[in-house]
Amino acid sequence: MYSLHYVAGIDFGTTNSAVSVSDGGEPHMIQIGHSSTTIPSALFFDESTRCVFMGHDAYNKYREPFSEGRFMRSLKRILGTPIMSTSTQIYGKNTKFEDIIAYFIQHLKEKLDTSVNQSVTDVVIGRPVHFRDNDSSGDDAAQNQLEHIAHKVGFKNVAFQYEPIAAAFAHERKLTSEHLALVVDIGGGTSDFTVIRLGANLMNKPDRTDDILANTGVRIGGNDFDHAFAIDKFMPEYGLGSMYRSGDKILPVPNAPYIDLATWSAVNRVYTASVWNLMRGVQIGAQEPDKISRMMDILQNNLGHTNLDYIEMAKIQLSSQDVIKQRFEFLSDCPEFTTHVSEFINAIKNNVEKIVLAMNACLSQASIRNTDIDLIILTGGSTQIPYVYNIFKSMFPRAVISDSNKMDSVGLGLAYDAMHRFAEPQHTK
C-alpha cells in the first residue's frame, strides 16, 4: 500500500501563524482559520468550560461579555528568556509556558494532519535571524525550546529556516531572470533582512549557501510599535506621568504597571494583588484621579488586551488616515481620543531607526551598496505602514518593490525548503 509523502512548513509568528504543505508538488497554504490561511497566535483558556480556544476563536471568546479565563498572545517573544523556565496559573494550576506554546503548535499540527488525512512528520519551522539580540545562548535556547515543542506534538524531523530566506524562496518562483534581492521582513516581534541572489535558474539548486550573501535581524517589530505608541499616546490618559500624594510627599506614579500594560506579552503581569494594591494607594492620593480611575477599571476587569486591541486598531487606521477619533467604550467613562498620524510616527521613529541600522548592517555584511539591489521583497504586516514603506522605497531608488502576498510568503517558502530538505520519492511504502 502506498501513501503520499507530505512535508510541511510552519510560520509560527509573534502576531499571526500559518501552515503550508507539499506532497512533492507545488506547496500550498492550508486553511487553519474559519476562512483564512492565517490565524492570530493567541490562546484563551476558558475558566467555565476548561476549553482552550485558538486564533480568532480565542479573541472572540475573550471579547464575550462576562467571559472568564486567561487570554495570551505574542508567546513567541518569551522563547529563550527566563520566563520559559517558569509557570503561570491556568485553571488554578501552575502551567509551564512550554506547555502553553505546545497547545498552540499542536493545534497547527492537527489542522495540518486533517488537511492531508495523515500525520505529517517532516517540518521546516521559520525562525527570526535572532530570537534574542546580542544573546547567543538565549538565541540557541529559543530554537532548542521550539524544536523540543515540535517533537513533543508529534513531528519527527524538524529543521529551521530564517524567515526572510523563506520569503525569498516563495518569491523566486515568479521570477524569470536573476536578481540581487533584499528581503525586508518586519513581523510582530522581529525585523529580519537577507541579501540573496534569486532566479529561475537558481531555485532548484540543492545548496543555496553561495546565493545567500548576508542575514541580519533585530528584536523590534509591530508589537514594539504598539508599545511605543501606547506609552506615548495612551498611557498618559491612564495616569502615566502624573503625580500622587503619599504621606507628606508628592511622588510620580510608578511606571512599571504601565510598561507591562503596554506590552502584549506582559499584560497578564498587571493582574496581581500587588499591582492592584500599589495602584489603589496611588488612586487615594492621585492629583489626576479620573485618569487613575481608568487604570483601575482596566485592572479590575482584565481589560489590558482589549485596550491594546484599540491601540492596534488606531495604528492600522492611521495607515490610511491622517487623523482618527476613537471612543474607548470598554472604559467606564467612555473617553474619546483624537490621534494624528504624526503622533504615531513620533512614537515609532526610534524603533524604525534601529530597524534601518540592522538593514544597513546586512548590506555591509554582504559588501554591497543600496544601488546594487534591484529587487526589494517586503513581507510582514508592519511593512504596510506608509512611514515604514516610504523609507525603504526612498533608500532603494533603482529597485523594484514587491509587496504581494505578505502574509503567506514565509509559510510557502518554508514548504519549498522542506521539499529540498526532506526529498524522497513521491510514493513510499
Residue 73's SS3 state is strand
Q: What is the pLDDT of residues 313-330, one digit of tens each?
A: 999 999 999 999 999 999
What was the pLDDT predicted at 205? 83
Residue 2's pLDDT band, with cuts at 50, 70 and 90, is low
Residues 7 and 111 in one domain: yes
| Dist CA 54 CA 72 (whole Å) | 10
| Interatomic CA distance for residues 62 and 378, integer angstroms | 32
* CATH code for position 38: 3.30.420.40
Q: How confident is the model at residue 73 (pLDDT cuts 50, 70, 90)?
A: very high
pLDDT band of residue 64 (cuts 50, 70, 90) is confident
The structural domain count of the chain equals: 2
Residues 293, 417 share a domain: no
pLDDT band at 424; cut points 50, 70, 90? low
CA dist., res. 43 & res. 51, Å (int): 10
Instruction: Look at the pTM and tell me if it is higher than 0.85.
Output: yes
Cell numbers representing residue 98 in the block: 512550554
> Is 202 inside a domain boundary?
no
Residue 356 lies in a domain: no
Q: Are 224 and 268 in contact (CB under 8 A)?
A: no
Residue 72, beta-bridge partner list: 43
Residues 167 and 35 in one domain: yes
For the cut 50, the answer to whether the pLDDT of residue 429 exceeds it is no
Q: List pLDDT tens digits, range 17-62.
A: 999 999 988 999 999 988 899 999 999 999 999 999 999 999 999 8
Based on the fold, state whether residues 20 and 149 are members of the same structural domain. Answer: yes
Residues 409, 278, single domain; the answer is no
Residue 331 scores a pLDDT above 80:
yes
- Are residues 412 and 300 part of one domain? no
Which residues form the domain of 42?
3-175+405-428
Contact (Cβ atoms closer than 8 angstroms) between residue 414 and residue 20:
yes
Element (H, E) at 106: helix 97-116
Alpha-carbon gap, residue 32 to 121, rounded angstroms: 18
Nearest one of 422, 32, 25, 24 to 11, comparing CA atoms: 32
For residues 76 and 160, state if they share a domain.
Answer: yes
> 162 and 229 share a domain?
no
Tell me: do 240 and 162 sit in the same domain. no
Q: What percent of the chain has pLDDT over 90?
A: 87
Looking at mean pLDDT, say which of 68-72, 352-356, 417-421 comes out highest: 352-356
Quickly tell me which residue has 484621579 as its cell: 289
| DSSP type of residue 254 | P
- CA 72 – CA 58 distance, rounded (Å): 9
Q: Is residue 161 part of a domain?
A: yes
